[in-house]
């Protein structure tokens, strides 16, 4: 969403959180990133980000028994 120095705000499916971009210089608002423990650790292409989100949603459905 926004980056100010090494700190920024991210949006994950409507949940907004503060995150550190100290380990991932050069990203800008609108980029897709992987977060771990509040740190952006990898930049993704839009295609890879959408596929990752799809896989996470599929895992949640399977875990909840909704994979039928």
Tokens standing for 50? 């959408």
CB 35 within 8 A of CB 41: yes
Tokens standing for 24? 């991932």
CATH of the domain at 13: 2.30.30.140
Q: pLDDT tens digits, residue range 3-55?
A: 988 999 998 888 899 999 999 988 998 899 999 999 999 999 999 999 998 99
Instruction: Give the global pTM.
Output: 0.75
Query: Which residue bears the tokens 């705000």?
Result: 9
Residue 28 lies in a domain: yes
**Domain tally for the chain?**
1
Residue 68 lies in a domain: no
pLDDT of residue 67: 67
pLDDT of residue 22: 93
**Which stretches of the chain are assigned E, i.e. beta strand?**
2-4, 7-12, 15-20, 32-36, 39-44
Query: Which residue bears the tokens 């949603």?
Result: 57
């Amino acid at each position: 969403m926004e980056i100010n120095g090494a700190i920024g705000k991210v949006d994950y499916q409507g949940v907004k959180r503060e995150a550190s971009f100290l380990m991932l210089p050069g990203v800008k608002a609108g980029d897709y990133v992987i977060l771990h423990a509040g740190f952006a650790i990898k930049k993704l292409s839009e295609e890879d980000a959408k596929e990752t989100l799809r896989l996470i949603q599929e895992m949640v459905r399977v875990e909840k028994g909704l994979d039928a």
